Amino acid sequence: MSEYVHTSVGNGTGTITLDRPKALNSLSLAMVRDITQALLAWRDDSSVAAVVIRSSSEKAFCAGGDIRFFYDVGRGSPQGGSALLEDFFSEEYALNHLIHFYPKPYIALMDGVVMGGGMGVSQGGPDCRVRIVTERTRMAMPEVNIGLFPDVGGSYFLPRAPGKLGYYLGLTGATIGAADALYAGLADHYAAVADMEVLEAILESTAGAELPEAIAAFAAPYRPAAGKLEAERAAIDRHFGAGSVPAIVASLKTDDSAFAQKTLEIMATRSPLMMCVTHELLKRGAASSVADCLRMERTLVRHNFEDGEVIEGVRALVIDKDNAPQWKPSSLEEVTEEMVQRFFQPVWPDYAHPLRHLD
């Protein structure tokens, strides 16, 4: 294991602890490999009946991929490290697939910041997932903010959220709390921070095979503070069901509510091109399998870095911190259908796709 991922096995439970607190557990390639290695080892190990993934820090479960790394190697040649970028996304998406179909309970303690790649390592499939949020949870798929798109399986799980919630979350990159995560189907249980020691004791003392039932019983009495998605659900479904990003913006402009105006304000700062690409991605993902979604995202990543929108987004947000990205094109009106569809053009023949073995 690397210095940032610690693993242990006890009482039938394999535990993965992310321990890169200064970077809010942002995932490096080494971390992706460590998590994958542990899950593969435990998958067929009869002494491990369940897996828990958690953070050593109260601030963040995982804030996503290491975007500074994306910037540094995304501008380089293979000699300068760009080949590692290819490896990162291929291996991260393969890990997301492994987690979705994991044959044992996969328990994610989503305390603190859970964004982007952090969602990818916590969103198990319906047969294995046990996703716990707290009042500290700050969840988002904020990729459009840096000129990227909701990846790590976002093209699969976002359009499967109720109504048009997934489109709202993917196109705005909005941050939500525990109640909204539960309402959107992106979490299963709520635990109060004040009683985290009780949960810790359950995780430690309960046999792995019995953990899902024990966690459900522990969490049953808890209710998070009210969120905003349920209250704004009708407006979200109406506006974000408009059929295209320009149509969504036009619909929002007819609504003088505080929610609609705030949403317009947020979308005005996002990459126009990548919002349109994201809309198409979610539309396609709604009718695709997990494997096909991840293969599609892998194709988009290659096009995205070749296009350079993500490089500019990371520059503005993380490198220069001027928060003034020069998006190309700079307005929705300039985004053409051809620009959007170019991102979905095959990069590899099917037999050579780096995720061709996923099923």
- Is residue 124 part of the annotated active site? The answer reads no
What residues in the chain have per-residue pLDDT under 70? Answer: 1, 79-81
Q: How far apart are CA 35 and CA 353, in angstroms?
A: 23
- Token pair recorded at residue 36: 């994958």
Burial class (CB in 10 A: 0-12, 13-18, 19+), 327: buried
Is the separation of the CB atoms in 31 and 38 below 8 Å? no
Please tell me the predicted confidence (pLDDT) of residue 90: 98
For residue 280, what is the DSSP state? Answer: H
- Is residue 118 part of the annotated active site? The answer reads no
Q: How confident is the model over 186-213, as pLDDT tens digits?
A: 999 999 999 999 999 999 999 999 999 9
Please tell me the predicted confidence (pLDDT) of residue 302: 95
| Sign of torsion over alpha carbons 198, 213, 53, 289 | negative
- Is residue 359 part of the annotated active site? The answer reads no
Catalytic residue among 34, 66, 92, 151: 151
The pTM for the full model equals 0.96
Q: What are phi and psi for residue 76, nearest 5 degrees? A: -100, 180
Catalytic residue among 65, 154, 173, 285: 65
Please tell me the predicted confidence (pLDDT) of residue 2: 73
- Is residue 320 part of the annotated active site? The answer reads no
Distance in angstroms between the alpha carbons of the first and the last residue of the chain: 28
Q: How confident is the model over 97-125, as pLDDT tens digits?
A: 999 999 999 999 999 999 999 999 999 99
Catalytic residue among 34, 92, 143, 188: 143
Catalytic residue among 14, 74, 112, 117: 117
Question: Bridge-partner residues for 133, per DSSP?
Answer: 110, 190
- Token pair recorded at residue 324: 């003034």
Please tell me the predicted confidence (pLDDT) of residue 1: 67
